[in-house]
């Protein structure tokens, strides 16, 4: 299994509705005419998870980047009445589950530039190093715009270029999708959970600093963050993510790195630690070594940013109907929180037919558990039948995505 990775492709339309019976032709990058596998989506718009050849896993576990540690595939996705999309550069690492999400546009709404080209991973290709900034921004300058509290935003506006590039596009991306994309672009999913978690916390804290200080808006721009590694993080339009990275983000997306007596999330800058050295910043390859040596995520962060940093939690999460109650909902639970989650699950079940419809009676019984398990199976959450933190917010996210489009229509 050291030379095998896995890929699942999820296909929806612009309204987040799954597209059944979409056809996907997979081929090696650079040889699109030779189809390796032909896949079709089920009623949830998903293909089966397929095995694909990948380089030995050791290549992504060592700093030597002479040999590319991932294989690259192309996928041509098509469905009746939709414009086809050709994705090239899908990155498959050994022993990982890659997820490629794609939206198809109806033929009557055809647009230019629907094809997607995924460039090299930042640890393999060359990207400009981060230009150093102060990790804590001054808060008392005249006219400075800052938020009153740390809030996880519903949406990040990503400027796909350097701040001054007026030709670069702006993309509206959900906060969790943004973090998953950046983490999948900047570290390898083959690393230890502790290392991945520490790096995700650094990415989230940096991002929330940009949000909290309104950093770019204060400079006259209309976006939240850029995709330039010289200024921010590498975000890549349309790239695949990895299941283990996605799950960790879903577990901790409301967290960030703090210092005592400092309200804002600190700007946790970092570098690869090999081609670029960055004293007092996190080293990506160095954090990988610390994780291998048994360091916990907070120990890794303190190794680089100092012993006084700690993990904080955002005061609020935007764009959701209601916050997680702070305790798990399971068989035997009852009340308004159960009723609310039943309503959301039933609405999702009206779109995803593999999720059974349920009564909204406020009683968590066998039918509700079955719907929860079906939801978890479709959306890559551990199949427990329990509404925990991760499942609550995943249900909220999918529910809002479906109902908001319906309201606009």
Look-up of token digits 């060359």 = 126
Q: What is the pLDDT of residue 145?
A: 55
**Is residue 409 pLDDT above 50, yes or no?**
no
Task: Give the separation between CA 368 and CA 166, rounded to whole angstroms.
Answer: 50
| 3 state DSSP class of 80 | coil
Q: Taking all residues of the chain, what is their mean pLDDT, rounded to a whole number?
A: 93
Task: Give the separation between CA 25 and CA 352, rounded to whole angstroms.
Answer: 24
Task: Give the separation between CA 271 and CA 161, rounded to whole angstroms.
Answer: 19
> Any idea how long the chain is?
409
Q: What is the pLDDT of residue 230?
A: 98
**Is residue 143 pLDDT above 70, yes or no?**
no
Looking at 77-91, 108-122, 222-236, which range is the least confident one?
Answer: 108-122
| 3 state DSSP class of 23 | strand
Residue 364 belongs to what H/E stretch?
none
Q: What is the pLDDT of residue 138?
A: 80
Question: Exposed, middle or buried, 306 (CB in 10 Å: 0-12/13-18/19+)?
Answer: exposed
pLDDT band of residue 147 (cuts 50, 70, 90) is low
26-39 tens-digit pLDDT: 999 988 789 999 99
Task: Give the separation between CA 326 and CA 376, rounded to whole angstroms.
Answer: 19
Task: Give the separation between CA 362 and CA 338, rounded to whole angstroms.
Answer: 5
Identify which of 252, 243, 246 has the alpha carbon closest to the alpha carbon of residue 208.
252
For 231-241, b/e burial (b = at least 16 CB within 10 A) is bbbbbbebbbb
Mean pLDDT across 5-20: 95
DSSP state of 112: S
Pairing of strands 282-283, 270-271: parallel
What is the CA angle 138-277-210, rounded to 5? 30
Mean pLDDT across 386-394: 96
CATH superfamily entry for domain 4-117 = Immunoglobulins (2.60.40.10)
Mean pLDDT across 351-377: 96
Which sequence spans correspond to the domains of the chain? 4-117, 151-317, 336-408
**Is residue 184 pLDDT above 60, yes or no?**
yes
Task: Give the separation between CA 202 and CA 195, rounded to whole angstroms.
Answer: 11
Identify which of 148, 123, 101, 401 has the alpha carbon closest to the alpha carbon of residue 271.
123
Task: Give the separation between CA 195 and CA 114, rounded to whole angstroms.
Answer: 35
Task: Give the separation between CA 170 and CA 153, rounded to whole angstroms.
Answer: 17
């Amino acid at each position: 299994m050291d030379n095998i990775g896995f890929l699942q492709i999820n296909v929806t339309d612009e309204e987040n509705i799954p597209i059944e019976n979409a056809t996907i032709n997979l081929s090696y990058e650079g040889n699109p005419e030779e189809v390796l596998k032909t896949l079709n989506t089920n009623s949830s718009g998903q293909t089966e998870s397929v095995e694909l050849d990948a380089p030995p896993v050791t290549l992504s576990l060592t700093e030597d980047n002479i040999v590319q540690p991932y294989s690259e595939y192309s996928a041509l996705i098509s469905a009746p009445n939709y414009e086809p999309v050709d994705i090239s550069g899908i990155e498959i690492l050994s022993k990982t589950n890659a997820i490629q999400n794609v939206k198809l546009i109806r033929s009557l709404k055809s647009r230019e530039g629907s094809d997607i080209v995924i460039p090299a991973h930042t640890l393999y290709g060359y990207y400009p190093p981060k230009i150093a900034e102060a990790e804590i921004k001054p808060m008392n300058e005249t006219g400075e715009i800052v938020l009153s509290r740390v809030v996880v935003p519903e949406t990040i506006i990503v400027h796909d270029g350097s701040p001054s590039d007026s030709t670069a596009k702006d993309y509206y991306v959900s906060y969790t999708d943004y973090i998953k994309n950046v983490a999948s672009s900047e570290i390898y999913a083959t690393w230890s959970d502790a290392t991945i978690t520490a790096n995700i916390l650094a990415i989230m804290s940096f991002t929330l600093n940009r949000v909290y200080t309104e950093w770019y808006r204060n400079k006259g721009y209309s976006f939240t963050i850029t995709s330039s590694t010289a200024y921010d993080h590498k975000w890549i339009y349309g790239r695949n993510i990895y299941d283990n990275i996605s799950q960790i983000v879903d577990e901790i997306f409301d967290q960030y790195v703090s210092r005592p007596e400092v309200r804002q999330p600190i700007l946790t800058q970092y570098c690869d630690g090999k081609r670029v050295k960055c004293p007092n910043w996190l080293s990506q390859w160095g954090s990988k070594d610390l994780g291998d040596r048994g360091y916990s995520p907070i120990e890794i962060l303190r190794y680089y940013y100092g012993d006084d940093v700690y993990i904080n939690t955002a005061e609020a999460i935007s764009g959701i109907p209601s916050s997680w109650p702070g305790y798990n909902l399971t068989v035997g639970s009852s009340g308004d929180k159960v009723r609310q989650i039943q309503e959301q699950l039933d609405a999702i079940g009206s779109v995803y037919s593999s999720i059974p419809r349920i009564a909204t009676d406020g009683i968590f019984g066998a039918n509700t558990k079955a719907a929860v398990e079906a939801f978890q199976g479709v959306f890559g959450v551990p199949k427990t039948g329990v509404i925990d933190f991760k499942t609550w917010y995943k249900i909220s996210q999918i529910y809002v995505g479906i109902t908001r489009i319906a309201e606009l229509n």
